[in-house]
Structures are given as C-alpha cells and as structure tokens.
Chains A and B, each alone.
Chain A
Amino acid sequence: NAGVTQTPKFQVLKTGQSMTLQCAQDMNHEYMSWYRQDPGMGLRLIHYSVGAGITDQGEVPNGYNVSRSTTEDFPLRLLSAAPSQTSVYFCASSYGTGGTLVTGELFFGEGSRLTVL
C-alpha cells in the first residue's frame, strides 16, 4: 500500500521561482489537505479539498494555489517563491464524510522539504 505519496522530498529554489509539490493517495479519500510545519509552530493548514473540483483556503493560503481534478491527486503550486516559504510541507488525506469538513483518521505523506534562497 503506497498510502500518501509526496514528491519531491527535497527542493531548493531561488526567490521568484515557481514549482509544484505533488501529492497522490491511493485510498480513495475524499478529503485532502496541505500543511506547512515550521519549528515551534505546529502544523498550519494551507489549502484543503473535500472532493474532486472542490478546494478551499486554510489558515495560511497566500502564495499558494491548489486544484483537485481527480480524487487521487492534490498538487500545491508555489507561484513566486519567497524565503518565508522555506518549510516542510505535508500532504494529508482522510475518508472524511462526503461534502463536509469533518475528518476521520488522517494519513500523512513523508513530507517535502523546501528551501528558498
């Protein structure tokens, strides 16, 4: 079972560059989300999706875009990277309860470590 797969695991960008962090899950989960983890701050929600074609903003959405064209994939796009976006990014998914935001057990990927110079 692959679970939640994130690529790349490591990335270094220069300020102003754009890139996409990939996330795929093979559990047919409706709910998918992106978090960033910074030292001493816990995880903060960037964007989430409750199903294909449906996305919404989380706590810290500025500078990031998402789309959900399939149930399996939920890519996170950095439009113009800034040093403040240096962080570890986690994708997570759960069964949820179709159409609502109430989540069940959350499954995480291994993380993508991004450095912006």
Chain B
Amino acid sequence: KQEVTQIPAALSVPEGENLVLNCSFTDSAIYNLQWFRQDPGKGLTSLLLIQSSQREQTSGRLNASLDKSSGRSTLYIAASQPGDSATYLCAVDDYKLSFGAGTTVTVRA
C-alpha cells in the first residue's frame, strides 16, 4: 500500500524567503505526482503535475522535482509572499491516487 508523507506538518517563514516543501512515498512505481494548494474552507487546486518520466516541472515561482528512485518530490516556492499562505498537498498516482496529509504554510509579512 502506497504511503505518502509530508514533513513538516506546518511551516512559518518571513516574506521573501524561499519555501521548500517535501513529499516522500514508499512505492516508486508511479505514473505521476501532483502538487495541490488548499485554502481554508476551499477545495484543492492543482499546481503542478509531474509525469513519471520527468524530473521536474516549473510554473512561475513554483518548481517541483521528482526522484522516483528515492521516493521523493520537492516543491520550491521562490520569494514567498503572504498570498502563498495555504496548505500544500502532494498526491501520488500509482493506479490510484494517494495523498499526503499536507504542509500548512504561513508567510509572515
């Protein structure tokens, strides 16, 4: 059974600092990995989708890397802003999606 872990559970940084969010998974036989953002009381919004054949994906200030052999993905958010405050979840697709519990980020102005 795929296990997805996100550490830390919460993170607080000053505005302008780069954010590094971690996601680890136990079974490397995956089709893709997605990173999502969830605002309080809202649904999830897909940020980046990395196919198993890719090493990274970039969108604006966001960059996600994937290392299947070590079972890890990292989401980098450059020059954080207060608007980046949210919970970030990763999900691994190995025929069924498995989600991590998320990392709640607070960016202090």
Contact = CB atoms under 8 A, between A and B. Distances in A.
A108 B45 CA distance: 7
B99 A43 contact: yes
Interface residues of A, number: 25
Interface of A: 4, 33, 35, 40-45, 48, 58-59, 90, 92, 101-111
A4 B43 CA distance: 10
Contacts of B99: 35, 42-44
Interface in B12-43: 31-32, 34, 36, 41-43
Nearest to A108: B43
Contact of B89 (A42, A101, A107): A42
B34 A105 contact: yes
Contacts of B58: none
Interface string B81-108: 0000000010101011101111000000
